[in-house]
Amino acid sequence: MNHHDILAATGLSEQELNGGTLAVFSPIDGAEIAKVKETAASEMPAVIAKSQAAFKAWRKLPAPRRGELVRILGEELRASKKELGALVTLEAGKIVSEGLGEVQEMIDICDFAVGLSRQLYGLTIASERPGHKMSETWHPMGPCGVISAFNFPVAVWSWNAALALVCGDPVIWKPSEKTPLTAIACMKIMDRAVKRFGADAPEGLVQLVIGGAEIGEALVASKDVPIISATGSTRMGGIVGPKVMARWGRPILELGGNNAMIVAPSADLDMAVRAIVFSAVGTAGQRCTSLRRLIAHHSIREELVERLAKAYASLPIGDPRQSTTLIGPLVDHGARDRMLAQIEKAKAEGGKVQGGRTVTTNVPQGGAYVEPALVEMPRQTDTVREETFAPILYVLGYDTLEEAIEIQNDVPQGLSSCIFTLNVREAETFLSAVGSDCGIANVNIGPSGAEIGGAFGGEKETGGGRESGSDAWKGYMRRQTSTVNYSSELPLAQGVKFDL
Amino acid sequence: MNHHDILAATGLSEQELNGGTLAVFSPIDGAEIAKVKETAASEMPAVIAKSQAAFKAWRKLPAPRRGELVRILGEELRASKKELGALVTLEAGKIVSEGLGEVQEMIDICDFAVGLSRQLYGLTIASERPGHKMSETWHPMGPCGVISAFNFPVAVWSWNAALALVCGDPVIWKPSEKTPLTAIACMKIMDRAVKRFGADAPEGLVQLVIGGAEIGEALVASKDVPIISATGSTRMGGIVGPKVMARWGRPILELGGNNAMIVAPSADLDMAVRAIVFSAVGTAGQRCTSLRRLIAHHSIREELVERLAKAYASLPIGDPRQSTTLIGPLVDHGARDRMLAQIEKAKAEGGKVQGGRTVTTNVPQGGAYVEPALVEMPRQTDTVREETFAPILYVLGYDTLEEAIEIQNDVPQGLSSCIFTLNVREAETFLSAVGSDCGIANVNIGPSGAEIGGAFGGEKETGGGRESGSDAWKGYMRRQTSTVNYSSELPLAQGVKFDL
Amino acid sequence: MNHHDILAATGLSEQELNGGTLAVFSPIDGAEIAKVKETAASEMPAVIAKSQAAFKAWRKLPAPRRGELVRILGEELRASKKELGALVTLEAGKIVSEGLGEVQEMIDICDFAVGLSRQLYGLTIASERPGHKMSETWHPMGPCGVISAFNFPVAVWSWNAALALVCGDPVIWKPSEKTPLTAIACMKIMDRAVKRFGADAPEGLVQLVIGGAEIGEALVASKDVPIISATGSTRMGGIVGPKVMARWGRPILELGGNNAMIVAPSADLDMAVRAIVFSAVGTAGQRCTSLRRLIAHHSIREELVERLAKAYASLPIGDPRQSTTLIGPLVDHGARDRMLAQIEKAKAEGGKVQGGRTVTTNVPQGGAYVEPALVEMPRQTDTVREETFAPILYVLGYDTLEEAIEIQNDVPQGLSSCIFTLNVREAETFLSAVGSDCGIANVNIGPSGAEIGGAFGGEKETGGGRESGSDAWKGYMRRQTSTVNYSSELPLAQGVKFDL
Amino acid sequence: MNHHDILAATGLSEQELNGGTLAVFSPIDGAEIAKVKETAASEMPAVIAKSQAAFKAWRKLPAPRRGELVRILGEELRASKKELGALVTLEAGKIVSEGLGEVQEMIDICDFAVGLSRQLYGLTIASERPGHKMSETWHPMGPCGVISAFNFPVAVWSWNAALALVCGDPVIWKPSEKTPLTAIACMKIMDRAVKRFGADAPEGLVQLVIGGAEIGEALVASKDVPIISATGSTRMGGIVGPKVMARWGRPILELGGNNAMIVAPSADLDMAVRAIVFSAVGTAGQRCTSLRRLIAHHSIREELVERLAKAYASLPIGDPRQSTTLIGPLVDHGARDRMLAQIEKAKAEGGKVQGGRTVTTNVPQGGAYVEPALVEMPRQTDTVREETFAPILYVLGYDTLEEAIEIQNDVPQGLSSCIFTLNVREAETFLSAVGSDCGIANVNIGPSGAEIGGAFGGEKETGGGRESGSDAWKGYMRRQTSTVNYSSELPLAQGVKFDL
């Protein structure tokens, strides 16, 4: 399908596509595909006020009823999966399978959140005082601002929105300036769900604001938006987090990763090679969980690099709309320039580079296509410690597992990590208190491609937030500890006496 | 017992008592009771490095073994309860029963933490991929800096230390400059526990640093202290939180409260009066959970104020060492001055004041003794919205429960709250999503005196942290989501296809 | 709709309707509506073997994938809600709204189970040994026999099937002999879901067996059916439970209730009357949670009985297919005879009866229509202690709450209970350790009509099983506690030494 | 120490030791060491009534206060560890280290239960109805009968008692007729704890009944003992379970095991040998978790048997009081005769036996000392499928892991199991849904020696009960699901309409 057909299939109106001034370009060929309307900074107070008003109504609705809206949203996403996936391809440059996979992730989180809507479990707790009952309950928190990035233009929003809605929180979404179209398309799907759901959904329950830093800043600064869930760069998060904290809000940060794989001598190399390639070059290396560092045991390092080089050489690079393509374009030329610059820095530090060149043949003109790069490094340098959002894989060697883990942990980020080994002791050591310091630690699968059932996120410069599964929903609610005295006595805790 | 006897009973050495330059005064009579050694700012890097080294060893010890140290600590605290309680009275000015109660709280949290040491439950989670196993595990996090306040000079430390130790984290404690002696006494008790525990406890596992802002700043700024648990004023927390966040640490903030009680028409007034008096004047109104605002239904407001005034008039104010005393001194003259100034401001806003005067007769000279103040306000003014760490109780009226809840929530703080009512509907509404917005919400007991089994803390300017019971221990650990692939296949999540 | 239209709408084939010898009668008019094929006892070994074979495959499928089948089942149930609800009306005699409500409950449990399919949480647990990892995982258990009763001909199956399927267990369903048609209709819906789901669902995953005691006995006796979930009479459960236990299976029993409501002086009587009427006469008193005993405070007893008598007199009794009807027929004439006999016994014990007569005018001929009965009793007699599956409400009086609770608990059954009171102390006492001994205890709602999010069941003669929400799913899985030693040492627990 | 000294150290009085007719023999030398008083069957109703009365009081005490009794019990056990351990050695014949280890287990469970006493967590659950609150609470259940076996004469009681007491349930203990002295000694320790605890502990909170089947039968049959926790043989459990079920009680069964170890080609054989020897011959093979079946890969089977034979030959057999002894006596001569007979049966089925002979030299005369037996079997025969409570280890071979797991699971029992392998895939497969069907499944540690933090028990003929850690405490409480309606409306679940 050409650009026009993809856009037409989504049902976006001419007004939505071309009613504004924010130019949208497709990474496929750099073509401008839309000019969308930006939210004016002056509109933000009204947006936030509307969200607060929606909160007053939405929090009263029983959670299972709120879940019903998310269930319907899941149905609508199923119905629009193909079209929305294609738009992800068009606007973010992902290959077809990944575009569809991203929508599938939205559907999965909706199913999960529907189940949650009858749980949101607090605790009843044994009280130390006779005739007293203690419990902990979770209540809606208020509007949740969602700041998302271009590389998962729709899934990250759905992770936050599905949970926030079930938890009783309205949503204000500020997508990346690079991907407003997928956001608009999601809002239309959401609107369909709301319409089917009926009058119980207050106006302004989910709102979209489009624009740049100023818009985001309005969310970050507002006391009326108690939760800010921000996904993106460490630089962005390093500004957002303290600001939200300073006005007593709750930041949920999903920031950079510098994800590594340790390949042990016992590893199944066939599997490792496949996992490495997918993790390192999938989404053109633009996932927060993309594999960026390969820490290979000296005994197998050489063979591994050889096999990788061969695999890399055979990867189909090109138009992401073609079903055979595995590597699409980078998001824009700036991203490519940063990649090339980083490779130069690595070379200067002793790196031996394979690939990493701009691709101009057999690819749509205008897009930023690159060969993925394999960079063998003499040691973990400053350049390696930086996250570059591009398909560069640094290769390092190690002798002992302890050393490998030290290398793995010796970066500022803490998102994802993995080990390939068939050895129980190595696998479990890697997962233990002295192992990987990342929020995600896998064995015999790559660092990317998390299931929605687990909590997603990590410590250090990754920001410490958790989203998606497990009890990540607690991030969207406030906790209330309560004790009810149903006796006629007033005993004090800890046996304190205070008799009038 | 006189000051000297109390100090002697604790076993503090002459060097510990008088080896430094930081003067310590007893609120009882303003007497200087010690001159303790301050930690030099230049020592902080070594302190932190020692803590990091201790972490490397401590995290490897099985948690139930770590729990054994905390169990022994509990035994030692039981053995020293009386002496430590008396020192709390001497240094913080608490009455005897409260001094002992605070130590009991330390003992309780130790018992609780011992049980936790065999739990620290993560999850095993159903994976969507065949031959895959997903789980979530909690690992030690690193050194935990504990910044505590004068009003709970030992309990707050124990809340943090018992949990942190069981969770695998060394502790660096910076107590209030006003209460270094109780901290030193605790360290001696801790040292005895460590000695009995044996060689498994690494050097520097629990360290004490004494001094002012500069010392605290060193903890707050260090990347090597991933957790900062700070208890104190909103002003302090407003500085600490963003700074810790900015260097990617995890703040656990327990800050101010502006705790209210709603008294409904159906309330058991006998119980309410007793609860109000204890909550408002206990610890001379210097608890973070002290009752500061009374929101009484118009139908019973007058009677209630009358009964309170009578009760207030009969309260024994004086030397906290005497078992009959219920109200001891404020921590110092500055606190009293702030109280008096606040009362003047309230008056200017229309407040009608009973009590609230300095007391100089029948009290030890040199201490800051005051009558607790009842201040009837025409409405919730700015002065009422501020937390004043003193026994001022503002009285407000209401007509409907909705209005009462609105008044209750309309302050910047979110710590504790309660309602006195015998009516199920009112009680449950108060506890519901449209009820109190505080972290603690009680029915028919006052806002203060939490049991250690529940999570303690609140949102808004209270800082959002949780300590003590429930799953507050998670704040001291890092979460790891891991997936182990034990098959020979490499399926991707969300059905993504990426075949080489 | 007449019988024929209802049957036609379900899509049951002539063979399904009339291919056998088991006559099915509609309670509406006693008409024979079908003659369905019974499962021969000799077929049971093959049925069970097929289920075991299905288990081998089904347990390997990831739980979220199993959940997808249940999600599709939920979709199919939504699509067939009206038709299936009407069939429930035809075959079980429920009024329209209840027939639809029952299907809604099926849909709800499917949504809930889909969420569960990504949870099924076990625990990771802190181990006392270095280099060891402890965890608890839940695994599929094997075929689950579901024995259900006529009064919830489809919902109970869905409660069990949705959970069992997600948990990895095939299902063999033996419905009541009185309601095979709704079972056949469910199987057709299930088959449609399986078809859409595809080849991952093994043959024999859900099987239906129709017939009498001999068929049930084959399930109960088979070691290859590890779980027997049986809903029905205490008499039945008293046979099934020990038999399953004796062959080392796991019984999940949901048996009789003798559910009471305490009405306190402070109760909102308007609400109480409505709740009593629905709970006592809804489903013609044939719910396991139907209200059977009213324990009213002496101060309001008379007024309450008067209001109930008036309400009872105005209840529309008749054809359950008519939207205005609130009381349909009893399941058959035997049920009516038992009701009438029980009323006579109650009279002999001093009961004063209102209503309770056979109704023959303005009702379809051939059905067993009765007036609901209000029976004021002088005390709780043996007759009151028995569960009679019919709309008899015994009224008892009380003076103190303690006495009321004693009456409430003094029956052999332990399913559901409630109190109507606006008093916090009474409400919480009723819910406390000294309150109701039932599995379900409500405040200001009747005993019937549980939400699927909570665990359903009770102790004593109710059988002790739990179904539906909370962690009832654990009843369908086996628990595995495992410790992995990834060290090179072999320490023993509890410090035992055993050195070769 | 000789018998007399051991007895003297426990402080048992002459009346306790020799006031009755039940002869107690030491397995060490068969000497009669006491004649204790048996409980008459006619006393049982009074015992049970006293327990019920105690329940009425105990259930009202806050759980953390109940936990305080268990904490004190732990202190008393610590103080009496040596003496009680020695008595275990004397009466049950365990070696010194195991006797002490058993007491340590008692101490551990006390610590754990103290923590639990502030948890006993139920849930708060999202309700589908506005103005409704749903929760699940756990309440005390009633008297708990504990039937324990000779091989863990004190630990099993403590597992049950510590949890039951914290959960609010009184305890009636019927120990093995072979080990009444350790039971009496425990009761004295318990009495000391109760005395220190004070008046809150009602009379009859923990009672001991001594005697045979008739006594046990009285517990099993009584409706006033809702929980029967029985540890022992499958034969016993097969009688107890159905009987308790038939009178609507709750059985917690911990019965036989037929525990296996799979040794894979990659196993660390040094570790495996040590683990096998301890698991198979520790406690003279009389643990319910003793290793009974060794399933070794053909490639290493021969070597393994050789090394085991050598290790077996060097094991010090003899007086368990000597610190060098590793194998003490069987409990009595009957046990030895059964062992020898079983070996003969195995021989007849093709078994090749090493060891397994009576030992008469260098051992105390009068005791039943045996060499542990290694029996290589051609296949898993009926004899192998039986549990023999003696140190017989059957050795079987396998080719594929699938085959090994099939052998492992193909016995009627389901308690404990393990695999020795360094291979991740094998380890995880063993722990997966298609792996071991036992309640306990370990990797690289033997089947015996569980930590108290996990749930202990298994399915099939092991009885299905769970004790000790995780949420095993729920077995001692009743679950209450409650919904509180605090609105003025009466909505029905599932949208049912029923308007008067």
DSSP conformation letters of B296-363:
EEHHHHHHHHHHHHHHHHT--BS-TTSTT-SB--BS-HHHHHHHHHHHHHHHHTT-EEEE--B--SSS
**CA-CA distances (angstroms) from residue A262 to A226, A406, C459, D260, D428?**
39, 11, 53, 34, 20
For the record, the structure tokens of C280 come out as 């006592």
pLDDT at A261 over 80: yes
Cβ neighbours of residue B201 closer than 8 Å, sequence gap 6 or more: B58, B69, B194
Beta pairing, strands D32-36 & D144-147: unpaired
> How far is A12 from A185, CA to CA, in rounded Å?
7
Q: B452 in contact with D at a CB cutoff of 8 Å?
A: yes
Residue C337 CB contacts under 8 Å (≥ 6 apart), including other chains: none
Contacts of D381 (CB under 8 A, 6+ apart): D346, D349, D350, D351
- Cα-Cα end-to-end distance for chain A: 82
**Over the stretch A330-377, which tens digit does the pLDDT of each residue have?**
999 999 999 999 999 999 999 999 999 999 999 999 999 999 999 999
d(CA D318, CA D282): 13
For an interface test with C, the pick among D169, D489, D494, D500 (most C C-beta atoms closer than 10 Å) comes out as D494
3-state secondary structure of C121: coil
Q: Are strands D392-398 and D373-376 parallel, antiparallel or unpaired?
A: parallel
How far apart, in Å, are the Cα atoms of C222 and each of B48, C225, C247, D459? 65, 6, 8, 15
CB–CB of B384/B293 below 8 Å?
Answer: yes
Contact yes or no for B200/B170 (Cβ under 8 A): no
CB-based contact D12:D185 (threshold 8 Å): yes
The kind and range of the H/E element at D6 are helix D3-10
Restricting to C residues 348-387, those with a Cβ less than 8 Å away from any Cβ of D are none
- CA–CA gap between residue B187 and residue D296 (Å, rounded): 54
* Beta carbons within 8 Å of B165's beta carbon, 6+ residues apart: B58, B66, B69, B70, B113, B171, B205, B206
CB contact under 8 A, B454 and A481: yes
Beta-bridge mates of residue A252: A229
- Rounded Cα gap, residues C484 and A100, in angstroms: 38
Mean pLDDT calculated for residue range D84-102: 96
Mean pLDDT of C448-455: 91
Which amino acid is present at D293?
R
Any CB–CB contact under 8 A between D66 and chain B? no
Which residue, among A378, A435, A373, has the nearest Cα to A403 in the 3D structure?
A435
B442 CB within 8 Å of a chain C CB: no
Question: Identity (one letter) of the amino acid at D308?
Answer: L
D289 close to D334: Cβ distance less than 8 angstroms:
no
D192 exposure class (CB count in 10 Å sphere: 0-12, 13-18, 19+): middle
Q: Strands A259-263, A416-420: parallel, antiparallel or unpaired by DSSP?
A: parallel
How much of chain D is in helix, strand and coil states, percent to nearest 5? 40, 20, 35
**Rounded to whole angstroms, how far apart are CA atoms A167 and A478?**
10
Can you give the pLDDT at residue B500?
67
* pLDDT the model gives residue A456: 97
- Residues D159-168 pLDDT 10s: 999 999 999 9
Is the pLDDT assigned to residue D132 strictly greater than 90? yes
The confidence score (pLDDT) of residue A329 equals 98
How far does A159 lie from chain B, in Å, by closest CA?
14
DSSP string, C250-306: EEEEE----EEEEE-TTS-HHHHHHHHHHHHHGGGG-STT-EEEEEEEHHHHHHHHH
The tokens describing D10, both together, are: 């426990």
**Interface touch D453/B71, C-beta < 8 Å:** no
* pLDDT tens figures, D240-264: 999 999 999 999 999 999 999 999 9
Segment D5-20 shows an average pLDDT of 94
Of B59, B129, B141, the CB nearest to A434: B59
CB contact under 8 A, B498 and A278: yes
Please count the other Cβ atoms lying within 10 Å of the Cβ belonging to residue A5.
Answer: 10
- Give Cα A12 distance to the centre of its chain: 25
Residue B321 burial (10 A CB sphere; 0-12, 13-18, 19+): buried
Distance from CA of B253 to the nearest CA of C (A): 27
Amino acid D450: pLDDT: 86
CB-CB under 8 Å, B134 with A454: yes
What's the token pair of residue D261? 């170890």
Residue C284: CB atoms within 10 Å:
32
Measured between beta carbons, which residues in chain C are less than 8 angstroms from residue A112?
115, 118
* Counts for chain C of helices (H) and strands (E), in that order: 16, 19
Buried b (16+ CB within 10 A) or exposed e, A61-100: bbbbbbbbbbbbbbbbbeebbebbbbbbbbbbbbbbbbbb
Asked if residue B431 lies in contact with residue B439, where contact means CB atoms within 8 angstroms, the answer is no
pLDDT in single tens digits along all 500 residues of chain B: 789 999 999 999 999 999 999 999 999 999 999 999 999 999 999 999 999 999 999 999 999 999 999 999 999 999 999 999 999 999 999 999 999 999 999 999 999 999 999 999 999 999 999 999 999 999 999 999 999 999 999 999 999 999 999 999 999 999 999 999 999 999 999 999 999 999 999 999 999 999 999 999 999 999 999 999 999 999 999 999 999 999 999 999 999 999 999 999 999 999 999 999 999 999 999 999 999 999 999 999 999 999 999 999 999 999 999 999 999 999 999 999 999 999 999 999 999 999 999 999 999 999 999 999 999 999 999 999 999 999 999 999 999 999 999 999 999 999 999 999 999 999 999 999 999 999 999 999 999 978 999 999 999 999 999 999 999 999 999 999 999 999 999 887 667 777 76
Q: In sequence order, what are the residues at sequence separation of 6 or more whose Cβ sits closer than 8 angstroms to the Cβ of residue D16?
A: D36, D37, D184
User: What is the average pLDDT value for chain A, to the nearest integer?
Assistant: 96
Whether C455 and D481 lie within 8 Å, measured CB to CB: yes
The answer to whether D494 contacts C123, with C-beta atoms less than 8 Å apart, is no
The single residue listed with the structure tokens 């089994």 is B453
pLDDT at C493: 67
Q: For residue range C421-451, what is the model confidence (pLDDT) as tens digits?
A: 999 999 999 999 999 999 999 999 999 978 9
Confidence check: pLDDT of D500 > 70:
no
b/e for D101-133, b at 16 or more Cβ within 10 A? bbbbbbbbbbbbbbbbbbbbbbbbbbbbbebbb
In this complex, is the C-beta atom of D191 within 8 Å of any C-beta atom belonging to chain A?
no
Task: Tokens 């139920």: give the residue.
Answer: D122
User: Chain B: nearest CA to A413, how far in angstroms?
Assistant: 10
Question: Could you tell me the end-to-end alpha-carbon distance of chain C, in angstroms, rounded to an integer?
Answer: 82
Residues 6+ apart with CB under 8 A from A454: A440, A468, A469, A470, B125, B134, B136, B481, B483
CA distance A31 to B124: 47
- Known catalytic residues of A are 254
Give the separation between CA B167 and CA B122, rounded to whole angstroms.
Answer: 13
C-beta separation of D459 from D482 below 8 A = no
CA distance D162 to D173: 12
CATH superfamily to which B259-443 belongs: Aldehyde Dehydrogenase; Chain A, domain 2 (3.40.309.10)
- State yes or no: pLDDT of A500 exceeds 70: no
- The whole-number pLDDT of residue C1 equals 77
Task: Give the pLDDT mean for A162-166.
Answer: 98
Instruction: Check D102, D105, D254, D387 and give the catalytic one.
Output: D254
Q: What is the mean pLDDT of residues D87-106?
A: 96
SS (H, E, C) D204-248: CCEEECCCCHHHHHHHHHCCCCCEEEEECCHHHHHHHHHHHHHCC
Q: C124-136 in b/e burial notation, b at 16+ Cβ within 10 A?
A: bbbbbbebbbbbb
CB contact under 8 Å between C128 and B65, yes or no, is yes
Alpha-carbon distance of C320 to C328, in angstroms, equals 5
First to last CA, chain D: 82
Which residue in the set A134, A441, A455 is minimally distant from B454, CB to CB?
A134
Chain A neighbors of D129, CB-CB under 8 A: 62
Asked if B126 lies within 8 A of C427 by C-beta distance, the reply is no
Across the interface, do D67 and B487 touch by the CB < 8 Å criterion?
A: no
- Least Cα distance to B284 among B359, B219, B234 occurs for B359
Domain with CATH 3.40.605.10 in chain B: 3-255+473-481
The DSSP 8-state label assigned to residue B123 in this structure reads: E
Q: ipTM of the predicted structure?
A: 0.96
Nearest CA of chain A to the CA of D66: how many Å?
9
pLDDT at D342 over 80: yes
User: Touching check for A495 and chain B: CB below 8 Å?
Assistant: yes
Measured in whole angstroms, how far is the alpha carbon of residue A184 from the centre of its chain?
A: 19
Alpha carbons D284 and D93: distance in angstroms, whole number:
9
Instruction: Give the burial string for C417-430 (b: 16+ CB within 10 Å, else e).
Output: bbbbbbbbbbbbbb
Whether C82 and chain D come into contact, CB under 8 Å, resolves to no
Restricting to D residues 99-158, those with a Cβ less than 8 Å away from any Cβ of C are 100-102, 104-105, 108, 123, 125-129, 132, 134, 136-137, 139-141
CATH number belonging to the domain at B3-255+473-481, selected among 3.40.50.2000, 3.40.605.10, 3.30.930.10, 3.90.1150.10: 3.40.605.10
User: Which chain C residue shows the shortest CA-CA distance from D58?
Assistant: C433
The tens digit of pLDDT for each residue in A93-136 reads 999 999 999 999 999 999 999 999 999 999 999 999 999 999 99
Task: Enter the tokens of residue C93.
Answer: 């005699």
Binary contact (C427, D484; C-beta < 8 A)? yes
pTM here is 0.97
Backbone phi and psi for residue A228, each to the nearest 5 degrees, phi listed first? -120, 115
Has B303 been annotated as catalytic? Answer: no
Flag if A488 and C112 touch (Cβ within 8 Å). no
Range(s) within chain A of domains with CATH label 3.40.309.10: 259-443
Place C309 in a pLDDT band, splitting at 50, 70 and 90.
very high
Please tell me the distance from the alpha carbon of residue A372 to that of residue A327, in angstroms, as a whole number. Answer: 9
Give whole-number Cα distances, B158 to A457, B196, D117, in Å: 30, 19, 19
Most D-contacting residue of A58, A114, A116, A121 (CB-CB within 10 A), to test interface: A121
Q: Average pLDDT, stretch C351-377?
A: 97
Q: Does residue A424 belong to the interface with chain D, where contact is any CB pair within 8 Å?
A: yes
Give the CA distances from residue B440 to residues A155, C240, D261, in Å, rounded to whole numbers and listed in that order.
Answer: 35, 48, 52
Question: Among residues C412, C376, C370, C368, which one has the least CA distance to residue C393?
Answer: C376
CB A332 within 8 A of CB A25: yes
Q: What percent of chain C has pLDDT over 70?
A: 99
